[in-house]
Structure formats: C-alpha cells, structure tokens
Chains A and B, each alone.
Chain A
Amino acid sequence: MNVTLETQDPITCCDECLVRPGNTNCGGCGMSVGLVMLDRALKSAGQRCQLVIPACCGIVTAGGYPTTGYSVPVLASTFAASPAFASGVAAVRDLNDEPHQVICWAGDGGTYDIGMAALSAAAERNENIIYICYDNEIYGNTGGQRSSATPPGARTTTTPVGKLERKKDIMAIMAAHRIPYAATLSIAHPEDFARKLDTALHLEGFRFLLIHSPCPTGWKSEPAESVELVRLAVGSGLFPVYEVFDGWRYRITIKPNGADPMEYYRRQNRFPAAAMDADAVRAEVAGATARLARLAEVFAAG
C-alpha cells in the first residue's frame, strides 16, 4: 500500500467528538478529561479549532496514521516550537478572515522546559492563539522523568530519591508577559473549568491555560482516584485555582477548603515519606496561598 499525505482519507469512527473513542490514552489520565472539556466548551461557544501539538502524550492520542484520534485538523510540531508553528497557522487564518481557534495542546515538558523560549516569545508577541498546558508534573510520555513542573519531594526516574527543587511558577512567568488571559484549571472543578475555557474562547490575543493533570503511571496513583487527587490539591492550596487578566488583575475562583496537603502526598506513591517534611510543606503552601489571596485582594479582577 502506498499511503500518501495527499490521498489517504482518515479512518474515522466518530466525527462528533474532538477526541474520539478508542484512543490510546491511559485510564485516569487528566489530559483525556481536559480534551473532553475542551470539546464541550468549543461546541458550547459554537467554535471549532485547529490543534498544534508538540511531542507529548497529546500527540500519541492521535494514534497511528492514517487513523486519527482527533476529529479536527492537527499539526504535530517539534517539541520546542509548538507556539511558533501555531503562530504561522494563526497568521494565515487571520489573513483569510477565518473564525476558528488555533490551540496549542502541550505537556509540561514542552511548556515549562524545552518550549519555554517559543512560548515566551509567542506570548510577548501576543499571538492570537490559545495555549493549553496539561501539567502532569512529569515527562509522562518518556516514562516519567523530572520536569521543572515536578513538585519537590516527587520521585521520578531521574530523581530517584525525590526532587530537591521547587516547582517552576509558570503562571507568574506567563502573567509577567501581560497577556490578556492566564488561568489555572482543575478537572475536579468542571464548572470553573468550562467557564474559563469559555472566557478564553471569547477573548483575543495570547491566552494561557494550565490544567493540573493527573498521570497515574507517573504519580503511582490509582486511576480511579485521579479526580479526587486533584481536588485535594485544590482544597489544600497545593494547586491554586485562579485567573489573571492582562497580567495583573487576579481572581481566585476556587478557594482552598483547608484540606491537609499531606493527604494529597500520602495517596500517591511518588512521594517517598522520608523526603516529605509535613511542617515545611504546610508552611510553604500556607505562604503561597496567603500571597495569592493578597494579590487577588489588592489587584482584584473587576
């Protein structure tokens, strides 16, 4: 069989869903939930999208060519350059007055690390694209190595005794670009999640969305507990859920409920107990929560 890019029709089973049934994603994968949420938000807004996906589990979701797990056009980009690829796609969309969204869908490796320069540059140019990072805090696609999104204490294949450094505060970095919209999203809070996607879909310019995305294989957690885990992360303040307009107007959309961060750690096998100092963890989280609350109070989103 001579398969060509020009002539081979995609094999489809469901044209209604952004991500089709039968894809290869793992059970309990937060990214899968995120894609379903994105699908609903697009339908609700009456919009469609083209996806640009760098190396990450999101491109594996497509499955083996000529089948595709997506019902929209997808351009696989090089690992470091999805915002650049998307800038080119979006430029041509705008030149031709087409209404669809151009959306980057990337993991934490392509966002926090190898793609940081292209991401920062596209944000600085205020490219008219939506950039969504599903942050599973690990290089899940290569079997679970450290990323700069990996939280302190987490054991990965390249941090065998637990990571020693803090997680990079990418929201602060993105907000510093004064982009129109930056928000964190949790699959445990679908109404908030949907509202933020809708907000992003109705704004122009560079929009950055960060999804806390459980990875059961990397987190050494039960797939069935994924949503419960990220709910604990929000409740304890480990993953603050908020939005930032134009880089300086803040709104906390889901307030922590006083859950104990240590419960979040205990329910995953990636955090060796010896690496976790409960008092230090609680103090760190309390400090970050208070700081964000103060920002939201002083620089409130109207």
Chain B
Amino acid sequence: MAIEVVTGNHAAGYALSVAAEANRVGRGAACGIYPITPQTEIVEFVARFPFTKGRVIAVESEHSAMGVSIGAAMAGARAFTASSSNGLAYMTENIMVAGYYRLPIVLAAVNRTLGPPWNIWADQGDTLYLRDFPVIQLYCETNQEVLDSTLLAFRLAEDPRILLPVMVIMDAFILSHTQMETDLPEQDLVDRFLPPLELPHQLNFERPTTVGGLTWPRETLSQRLEIDEAMERVGAVYEEHRAAFEKIFGRDPGGAISAFETEDAEAVLIASGTIASTAREVVRTRRARGEKIGMVKMKMFRPLPVDALLDAMPRATKIGVLDRDYAAGVGGVWWHDLRAAMQGRRDDVMVQDYLTGVCGGDVTPAMLDEVIDDLLGRRSAGKPVWKGIDR
C-alpha cells in the first residue's frame, strides 16, 4: 500500500490499469482510448502503463474507443475505457452495445457539461443521459472513492450474475484535477481481489454463434428480461463484493447509498458526487442547531436503490433533491427518477427539486442553506428551483 497525493484522474487511471493488469494470467487486457478534457489524464495514464499482457489502442474517436474495448471484451480480455461529456455522447451507440452484449467493460467517466456552448465544468447531464441503457452507474465523492469504486466495478461487472458494464463517475476538476491523499493498492492485493476473467459468451470456435445478429421479438424480449433480472441482483451482489473489498483492502468502498443523520430526520437532502460533501457539512452545522434534517448520498444511480433509500429515512416527509443536471422540459434527472420510484410507496413524502451547480456553477454552503430554508418552509412541492442564476 502506498498513500500518495493524486488527482481523481490519476486514481481512475491507476485503478483501471492495475485491474486490467490483474488479468495477465487470463486473456490479458485491451482497450481503445481517446482524449477529451477533463478526462485526458486517465487515458494518458493507461497508455503509459507497462502492461504485462495488454494493448492500449489510441484510436480516432470515442465511438471507436468503445468499439475496440467491445471487440477486446468479446474476445475474452478485461477491457475498459474512459470519456466525458460530448465524448460520451459520441460513444453512446457503443456504450449501449456493450450493455446489450452483457460485456463487463468499466468506463471511467468525468462529468462535464454537454455542449454547445463549450463548457468544460462539472455537470452530471452527460452520464445521467445514459440512464436508459443497461449500464450500472456509480457516482464518486472523493478520489479514494474513485479508486475503490473502479476496482469494485470490475468485480461487479464480471460477476456472472451481473455481466453488465459499469460507469465510475466523478465531477470535472472538482475531483478529476484536484489532488487528495489516496491509498493506491499494490498489484498483489488487486490480483487477490480480481481473479482472471472468463467471459461465458466470448467468441469461441467450439460454439460459433453470431453475436448481435438478428433476433426475433421473443428472443430480444427474453434478453431484455435477463438484463432486468441482473439489474435486480445488483444491490445484493454489490454488497457481497463490498465486503470482500473491505476484507482485502481494509477499508469500506461505500454503499449504494450513504445516509447521514437520517433516522429521525423530517427533512432530507439527496445529493451525489462532490455536492454530497458540501451537503453533509451544512446538515452537520444545522443539526448542531437542533434541526431534524439529514442527508443521503446516492452513489448508485443505475440501478436506482430506492428501497435502501426509503429504509434509510423512515420519518422524512420533505425531501430536497440536489440535481447538478437539467433534462430539458423535465427538470432534474435524479428528482424525476426518485419521485417516480417513490410513487405508490411513500406518497406522503414531498419531493422538491433544486437545480444546483448546473453547468459547473459553484455549490456553496450558503446556497444549500437557502435550499434547506426553502424546503422547510414548503407545504407542497413545486417546479424545480434553479439556484445560482443571476439575471
């Protein structure tokens, strides 16, 4: 173990590399890479990594980067790639394919505002827009969480009960370019955590199927149902691997959700990514003043861990969702999804949306104080409330 002060990009690049290297006793590792700010350092890291049995192919586009990784995964290798913003949008067709092909590809994604206009700052809209594809999404709060989640992502993705791509996600610059103390595990520990990959449906001369050719509605439907069943299993399987992670690496990589002061809370903020850090501190301060408020950090967005969320806040009647994203004509994606998921289960809860830090704006403690004041003063939910706009 070596504790170093590194950026989020470095943590992701390191984790992707050592995870891939762990498959050197299997069919090796291969991936396609393409740069985009603020993700570029990740692919630069993996391009320099001295893989024993691996090939990193610098291609001409994000679409092809994921294409190479799909080909490599289908040939049985451990595969990954990374992207951000418009790069993810361009990669989308092949991210979708990786999901429907049930390939355990890990995708490091740095949240950046989709353009136009050209904006390189944090906004979760680029990854949340992939919400309808069979891809597990994990949002990280710290660089350590980026590293841990990336290692865990491979184990989760490659579990035969799951076999789905996993996106490990961090905020542009707030994590990608900010250095923090991070425990970078040695290769032998990673080897213990990640056994060689044996993809059950890899290209095989003994069973020469045509993967991805025409299927009839019945077969396609059957495959969709299997994805749904795999998604249903993610929560429990994640917990198994989380425990295994803690045993090997000696620290908790974090749950699908992390609740803070929610047991008796009447009002709860829901945050993800780095906004969770700010929200936790604001809640801590106001708790000290006797206010019954709490906060939940959502790490997992797909599948959406609604049961865990509801269990964590049994007394909440007011929920404020912090969305660093905006879906045109809808409001916040987290809010939209959470509100829909709660329907029929907790109809007594008021769920209000706050658009905070959209397009990379700062989310300050003062802003979250305003959010809490607004939430506490409300009798009913209204339209999404934009924060941080001057006009």
Contact = CB atoms under 8 A, between A and B. Distances in A.
Bound pair (A, B): yes
A84 B77 contact: no
B245 to A, nearest CB: 26
A70 B75 CA distance: 18
B215 A84 contact: no
A48 B68 CA distance: 21
B211 interface: yes
Interface stretch (B27-35, B40-48, B131-139, B183-191): B27-35
B218 A81 contact: no
A72 B205 contact: yes
B30 A74 contact: no
A60 interface: yes
Interface in A100-156: 100, 117-118, 120-121, 125
Contact of A76 (B59, B207, B210): B210
A52 interface: yes
A68 B53 CA distance: 33
B201 A5 contact: yes
B28 A92 contact: yes
B59 A121 contact: yes
Contacts of B63: 78, 80-81, 84, 118
A188 interface: no
B214 interface: yes
A45 B278 CA distance: 66
Contact of B72 (A5, A9, A88): A88
Contact of B209 (A73, A94, A121): A73
A10 B28 contact: no
Contacts of B102: 5
Contacts of A66: 209, 219
A241 B197 CA distance: 46
Given A3-B222, A52-B71, A65-B219, A84 B208 contact: no
B203 A50 contact: yes
A280 interface: no
Given A78-B97, A92-B30, A62 B210 contact: yes
Given A66-B209, A80-B63, A85 B70 contact: yes
A74 B213 contact: yes
B67 A118 contact: yes
A4 interface: yes
Given A89-B72, A89-B75, A96-B28, A120 B210 contact: no
B222 A85 contact: no
A91 B27 CA distance: 11
A93 interface: yes
Interface in B60-83: 60-61, 63-65, 67-77, 79
A87 interface: yes
A72 B64 contact: no
A162 interface: no
A2 interface: yes
B57 interface: yes
A121 B31 CA distance: 15
A170 to B, nearest CB: 17
Contact of A68 (B204, B210, B216): B210
Interface range for A: 35 or more
A6 interface: yes
A209 interface: no
Contacts of A70: 208, 210
Interface in A148-196: none
B289 to A, nearest CB: 55
A250 B285 CA distance: 78
B226 interface: yes
B317 interface: no
Contacts of B28: 92, 95-96
Contacts of B205: 48, 72-73, 100
A69 interface: yes
A68 B212 CA distance: 11
Contacts of B93: 78, 80
A88 B79 contact: yes
Pick from B28, B203, B207 the residue with the most CB of A within 10 Å. Answer: B203
A60 B214 contact: yes
Nearest to A15: B208
Contacts of A1: 218, 222
Interface of B: 27-28, 30-32, 53-55, 57, 59-61, 63-65, 67-77, 79, 93-94, 97, 101-102, 200-201, 203-205, 207-216, 218-219, 222-223, 225-226
Given A78-B67, A92-B30, 19 more contacts: A1-B222, A4-B226, A6-B201, A62-B213, A66-B219, A72-B208, A74-B210, A78-B63, A85-B74, A87-B32, A88-B31, A91-B30, A91-B55, A92-B72, A95-B55, A118-B60, A120-B60, A121-B64, A125-B57
**Closest 8 interchain pairs by CB?**
A88-B71, A84-B67, A76-B212, A92-B75, A81-B67, A84-B64, A88-B72, A121-B60
15 contacts: A1-B222, A3-B223, A10-B208, A65-B219, A66-B209, A73-B204, A74-B208, A74-B210, A85-B68, A85-B70, A89-B203, A91-B30, A92-B72, A95-B28, A95-B30
